[in-house]
Each structure stands twice: as structure tokens, then as C-alpha cells.
Amino acid sequence: MSIDTLLVVNAGSSSLKFHVYALDQEQVEGLRFWFGGQVSGIGTSRAVLKVKDSDGKELINQKLSEDEAGNLRQAQDLLATWLATQLDKAPVAVGHRIVHGGVKLTGSRVIDEDVLWYLDSLAPLAPLHQHNNLAPVSVINERWPEMLQVACVDTAFHCCQSTMVNHYALPEKYYEQGVRRYGFHGLSYQYISEYLAENMPRLHQGRVLVAHLGSGASATMVVNGLSRESTMGFTALDGLPMATRPGRLDAGVVLWWMQQQDMTAAQIQNLLYNESGLKGISGISGDMRELLASDAPSAKLAVDYYAYRVAESLAGLCVSAQGVDALVFTAGVGEHSPEIRARIVAHLGWLGLELDAEANDANQPLISTPHSKVEIRVIPTNEELVIARETLRHYRSQEA
């Protein structure tokens, strides 16, 4: 029996993630996750293709040669060829995670030539992500020129923030030219908001701090399901310290590099995106797991700095909502590192947060004590499902 499917693609600098959903009318949303995985380690000797089905059963775990995944284009071709062996026909639509939507894209959008050109023009604002996000669009256009493709942008969730919040203290002409606070990780925050609306409506209507802590990291105050304020701004460099990005940084440091160190824009960009953050402080790695396992003083400093600055930013976001009812940890570090969660919460006891150490160590969904004034929860994010929902909505609209 032929099955209609929908493909979700999330292409990064060194990984290519994908999910395949079957269009199933027996499901509430009309979507059933079928299988998904990723090509990781692209461009390295550690490249591998891993795929699991909806039950978590491993379908493939294959090491790849540099000829197979030496760059993103090769990885895309490899994945397209493998998918062709699994699907009896092309997907009806493809949804893409796109990091930056700029001023114009305040929601998901069907990709045409104008949209593609506009998104490509935003690449300087997200040099680690934007071109890679868009690369699969071109490959799919070549193979299936009539395929419906949808851009789901990470900045869209934050477009409801007030003008005061998204301003910088700069001459107004720059705001009009697009220099403003956009916020990122919006697909993750949208999922958490929708999850709370469905499963915890009381919290959804309240003031919820969401900490998306992964290789990239940010936090957002969500009030009644909407973004009130976020730590990231014009680009994905701002806010919390990250694996290889510094987070909040005095702009004078950049001027000093230019004027006193004679560094070029390309050198500065590489330093800010690839050599800073946890990796920069520790001199060891940007991987939190390696730092927690290390006895090096620089690793301890990096972890301490991370926990302190994340907590500081979480406290600052409470100003926008005049309080907080819940704190949600999500993404790789947020979901899987009890020690980091404990370190962050330890800085926030004065806000009424009280951690249940046993529940936290066991990665339970609720990790606050009954006496805590603020609920503390761990909710796995699912950006791919948000993309699938948005893509299905556009597909149905075109079919109507």
C-alpha cells in the first residue's frame, strides 16, 4: 500500500537531521512519526548515519567515508539515495528549519524564488546556520522541482514581542533597517508552549521561563503561551554562553580586536562562532559532558561560569513578567544534565526555586519539591514535530 509522507529536514554545520512522518487520518493531527535520524560528523572521519523507527529500534548505524559525507552536499545526496530505498514515492512536502527569518517572515512560509532569495540574504546574520539550512532546498528543487517546500523560521515565535523589548539603544534608522532583537530557538519554544497548552493549561496561562540549553543556548519568558522576552538578539551570538559562542559580550571587545589586534572581520567571526564559549574558557571542549568529566581547573571555571550566567539571565527575564510560575529545562544539556540543572537552580533559591535532588538525578519530568514556589520541569523539545505541523497546514491549504 502506498503511503503519503512528509519529510522534515534540519541541516546544520556538521549534521543533517531528518524525520519522516506518515500522513495518517487516524491520528489526531493527521501525522504519525515513522522514522528519523541524522548524518552526524559531516566533514570528519567520524561521520555516521543513524536512523531509528518510532519504537526506538535502530534501522541503520553506518559509518561513512569522507567520500560519502565529506561535506553537506555529499551527505544530502547520500540521505536522498537512502530515503529512496525506504519510500515507494517522493514525500508530498518537505519542511525545513531555517534559523533567521528577518523582519519579513513572521511565520512559516511556502518557499518560492522570492522567499529563497530573501532568506539567503539573511545569511550574514546567521553564518553558522543559514546557508546550511537552505542547502537542502536547492537539492530538492533539482530532484523534485514541483515539491512543496516550507520554511519554518526560528525567529517567528518572538515576533509578538513589544517594540520596546526588541529595540536596541541605537539611532532609529538602524531599527528600520532591521537591526533589532529577533530571538531564536523559536521552534523549540513553540513546541513547549503547545505542549503546555495541551497538557498543563494552568501553566500555559502563567509565566514560564524556558531554558533551551544545547550546543546553542537561549532562554525565553513565555506568558500565556507567547514570547515576552528572550536572551538572544540580532544574531545567535547574544545572551547565554554556549558551546563555542560567547553569549553576551561588550561590543568594545570587538573594536579592540579590530583596532589593537588588527583582526579581520573573518577572523573575528570565526573566533566568536567557533572558538569562544565553553570551548574558549576551558581550552578543552565545548561539550558539557567532557567538561563535567574533567578535573582541569579551566573546565571547572567554564562550568561555573555557564551556570552563573544562565541563572543571571533567567532572573533578568523575570522583570518582563514581574515574576515566574515555572521553569522548564529543555534541549540537550537541559534535558540530560542533572548537574547543570542543579547548579543553575542553586543560584535561584532566592526566587523561591527548590530542587528535588532525587527527582532531578532521575531526570523526572517534575524536579521541584512540593514546597517550591516555582515549578521546575524537564520537557523534551520536538522542533521537528512543529515543522511537520506547519508543513502539513500549508500542504492542506494548497490541496483545498
Go through the chain and tell me how many residues it has: 400
Q: What is the 3-state secondary structure (H, E, C) of 4-66?
A: CEEEEEEECCCEEEEEEEEECCCCCCCEEEEEEEEEECCCCCCCEEEEEECCCCEEEEEECCH
| 3-state SS assignment for residue 203 | helix
Measured distance CA(271)–CA(280) in Å, rounded: 9
Q: How many CB atoms lie within 10 A of CB 220?
A: 31
> Which residues lie below 8 Å from residue 115, measured CB to CB, with a gap of 6+?
105, 109, 151
317-346 burial code (b ≥16 CB/10 A, e <16): bbebbeebbbbbbbbbbbbbbbebbebbbe
Catalytic annotation present for 304: no
Instruction: Kindly state the cell numbers that stand for 222.
Output: 513565555
Measured distance CA(387)–CA(361) in Å, rounded: 31
Nearest-10 Cα torsion for 180, 186, 190, 192:
-120
Measured distance CA(76)–CA(29) in Å, rounded: 28
Q: How far is CA 167 from CA 144, 163, 207, 219, 397, in A?
A: 41, 6, 22, 18, 35
Instruction: Kindly state the cell numbers that stand for 297.
Output: 581547573
| 3-state SS assignment for residue 174 | helix
Backbone φ and ψ of 247, nearest 5°: 75, -150
Of 4, 77, 114, 154, the catalytic one is 154
Helix (H) or strand (E) holding 149: strand 148-153
Which residues are part of the catalytic machinery? 154
